[in-house]
Structure 1
């Protein structure tokens, strides 16, 4: 009986040390794998029901493995903005499909070698897609610590070229107070209310129409990123401190004329100044009619240009259907008050015209900060926050179930997840342009390899010795 138990103990030693060899082999093979966690083999003796003062039956040894998930690997800088590492506790949340359903599994990993794939998703070397909370239109993030379905696969490509329309316009220009009144105005040939002689109809080649005394060119962007130009044409009036004015699109075909407008006119009226040279907005009819409205309690007029799909109402205009199809309604503030437009006895000159809004842009880079905010940067100067990377923490990370690709899943030993933003509630911070190295210590693994080999050889010696004893027993009978 004791010889048989010795044989069994020797066999268990072979099995246990084979398991140890397997884990050591995995560790050595993954010594350069990003985010890999060392697996240890632990041995425990198998106790039989041996009597205290009687025969002893060898139970042998049982091997079990333990993955040290909480061990932090060294953080190494990289040249890629989308390489990520977590400094401290926590795991990235990933999925194996870009658009997961409720029933699709979510994985957890420290392997942060993410890159943009050809559809704009952040995908790591194991084919896992990074999850995060989407950024709302107002720049806030709605987090949920217990719901994986509140996360979305981060896709920079969904944002597109991020064209933004003009919403503010600021003009700074001086009109020469000593400008002589045009002969056509003096003779009454020109009248701002007569569209047939409007300044927009001026033709320099044929010398028809009335040439404006001064023009201010204003670049604007529509909602589709289309670049358009508006011109403020000004003609000195015979009325003191008053200039006839019209705002026109250039070219005129950019807009559909509303009632009472022609030749690309957006609005017509006058710009009036006080005796000290400052603009008198209340008396400047250009900004009080047509496409302009002034919100209650504000001195800044708002220019409204309808969408191409909306027929222009009386006194209104819309973008032309042939250009910028789909362009949405524009409404932008026109800042001309004090210091904007002036009338002094010096040459008419435009000091500055400033507008916001951008044309269609192409993605140039993706930036990720230590709080996990993913920002898309475009070649038109626009940068936009897309999402915030979620960090999952567990009561016992070492209890997570290991699956392929340096991924883990929830188990009874790990406890449930808790989703947090980086650096909050005990979650580690995110280090961009950084990768976490494997926690494998090669010197320790090679020394363990020698010990395991010797232990395996010793177990085989148990079997040969027990076999010799059995042979001796059999020879007695013979």
Structure 2
């Protein structure tokens, strides 16, 4: 009789424990990254009244007679099934799409603690935190030849600071960087006309120029020009000749006011040609109605195609460069074609640009890169009046000269260029691989750190310590540090948080069953007490 009471008491205690777990699960139904717990029971040691016997020639065997002594809580296990990702719209909120734990430090138990809570924040000192604990990851990276960045995930992890670290110094400010390389890609039109003045693959001669009249009060016109500075305003002045009536004294003045060519007593009825001291040539069309006055015009070289590059000096000052191309010469014997390129600039502060040459294409329109006379990666020098000259490599090794299906493909453009002005960190974003990228006020982006994840051989052995944290135990095995998406972990989702995986309907069902089991055990105690009372009343 006493055994039944003790068995029922153990049942009450076990069901009370399960009810405690259910209550905790329901209480944490809205806790970020919370993992519900499940309770399992096991029976206690049974009292053997009689042992089992084997059969004999005259008797059959008998089973053991045992009396159970109650129930005990065998385990409270954690269900690590991933919860649903809930969108928050906060750029520093992150959820893990599969297995893995964020690694944090700053707790009192062990060097590291682990969490599924990705509600990150940046404190006043630049530390990446979650509930006051420091998020850990990698800080040192290398820049690859293609401009991408790589983190060495075999190195030790450290607490992530967005503003500064021992590897990169002050990350809140981005120092000005001089341009050292620009890369061009695209296609030069193989059907373009070669320059009529070219005499060889490496001799383009004079390039023709077009003019745009700004004002014309003379009745004369500029029919063609060569050798003039691009986008500069020139002035042609016609004065009545003092020698022959109807003729003119003509001067050509450049944008700086310098007279570069003159003609005296010129009859414009058959046109005129002005030849400057620096090789400038301006041809005036024939006119019988010319009058004294001035005519202003701008001249531009007839380039086949051009593209723009923004280059920075070491002080962060930007200068606009134009990379211009003109088809030079076609060798009918070999099928090779040459293109002339010239880098120019009209930006204020640029005193000169040194950078011109030839590219050579084979009969298939592919760039020839092994001919030392036709460099595909020339050095360009931009001299400035501030003395901070720019020396940069112009990589044109990716260009083609082939017919394309779409005319929009016949474009040369800048695929990459380094250098920048100084900037201040204005925003951060977190990628699916855990790389934190900073955006600066100058439009540049730089990697700031990479969040690390931990995996365990037996994550069920983790111990909860509050604050959504776990610590490893003797039964978890040594944790491994991996990048998001590697080592069996899930990738990260930015702007989301992992919800609790508590199944509320399931918990209500378990709660009702537990409640009835608890009541049933108390009824057993009541019944046993009544029996004992009856036994006592027999005296």
Cα 1:63–1:298, aligned 2, differ >3 Å: closer, same or farther? closer
Task: Tell me which residue corresponds to 1:333.
Answer: 391
Task: Tell me which residue corresponds to 2:70.
Answer: 60
Q: CA RMSD in A?
A: 4.3
Task: Tell me which residue corresponds to 1:94.
Answer: 104
Provide the rounded CA distance (Å) in 2 between the counterparts of 1:165 and 1:366. 21
Q: Deviations over 1:87-144 (max 9, x none)?
A: 12211111126xx9xx9521121111112222222222x3332211124242221112
Task: Tell me which residue corresponds to 1:35.
Answer: 33
Cα 1:230–1:399, aligned 2, differ >3 Å: closer, same or farther? closer
Indicate yes or no: 2:167 matched with 1:155.
Answer: no
Provide the rounded CA distance (Å) in 1 between the counterparts of 2:509 and 2:181. 72
Q: Deviations over 1:438-468 (max 9, x none)?
A: 1101111111111111111222222222222
Q: Are 1:365 and 1:376, in contact at CA under 8 Å, matched by a contact in 2?
A: yes
How far is the alpha carbon of 1:32 from its aligned partner?
0.6
Provide the rounded CA distance (Å) in 1 between the counterparts of 2:124 and 2:93. 17
| Residue 129 (structure 1) aligned to one of 108, 116, 134 | 134
1:457 counterpart SS class: helix
| Residue 178 (structure 2) aligned to one of 133, 158, 166 | 166
Provide the rounded CA distance (Å) in 1 between the counterparts of 2:499 and 2:479. 24
Q: Deviations over 1:294-342 (max 9, x none)?
A: xxx986366899xxxxxxxxxxx999xxxxxxxxxx774168999xxxx
The structure in which a higher percent of residues are helix is 1
| Residue 300 (structure 1) aligned to one of 363, 369, 379 | 379
How far is the alpha carbon of 1:469 from its aligned partner?
2.3
Task: Tell me which residue corresponds to 1:141.
Answer: 151
Cα 1:372–1:463, aligned 2, differ >3 Å: closer, same or farther? same
How far is the alpha carbon of 1:220 from its aligned partner?
5.1
When the two structures are superposed, what TM-score results if normalisation uses the length of structure 2?
Answer: 0.55
Task: Tell me which residue corresponds to 2:505.
Answer: 443
Task: Tell me which residue corresponds to 2:195.
Answer: none
When the two structures are superposed, what TM-score results if normalisation uses the length of structure 1?
Answer: 0.61
Q: Deviations over 1:61-98 (max 9, x none)?
A: 1114433343111122220121111112211111126x
**Residues paired across the two proteins, number:** 344
Provide the rounded CA distance (Å) in 2 between the counterparts of 1:336 and 1:56. 91
Provide the rounded CA distance (Å) in 2 between the counterparts of 1:174 and 1:334. 22
1:73 counterpart SS class: coil
Provide the rounded CA distance (Å) in 1 between the counterparts of 2:45 and 2:395. 92
Provide the rounded CA distance (Å) in 2 between the counterparts of 1:418 and 1:271. 55
5 Å-filtered alignment, 1:223-302, equals 300=379
Indicate yes or no: 2:531 matched with 1:469.
Answer: yes
| Residue 106 (structure 1) aligned to one of 100, 109, 112 | 112
Cα 1:303–1:462, aligned 2, differ >3 Å: closer, same or farther? same
Q: Deviations over 1:10-58 (max 9, x none)?
A: 2211211111111111100100111100101111111223234687543
5 Å-filtered alignment, 1:39-54, equals 39-52=37-50
Cα 1:175–1:355, aligned 2, differ >3 Å: closer, same or farther? farther
1:389 counterpart SS class: strand
Rg comparison, structure with higher value? 2
Task: Tell me which residue corresponds to 1:381.
Answer: 443
How far is the alpha carbon of 1:365 from its aligned partner?
2.2
| Residue 77 (structure 1) aligned to one of 76, 80, 87 | 87
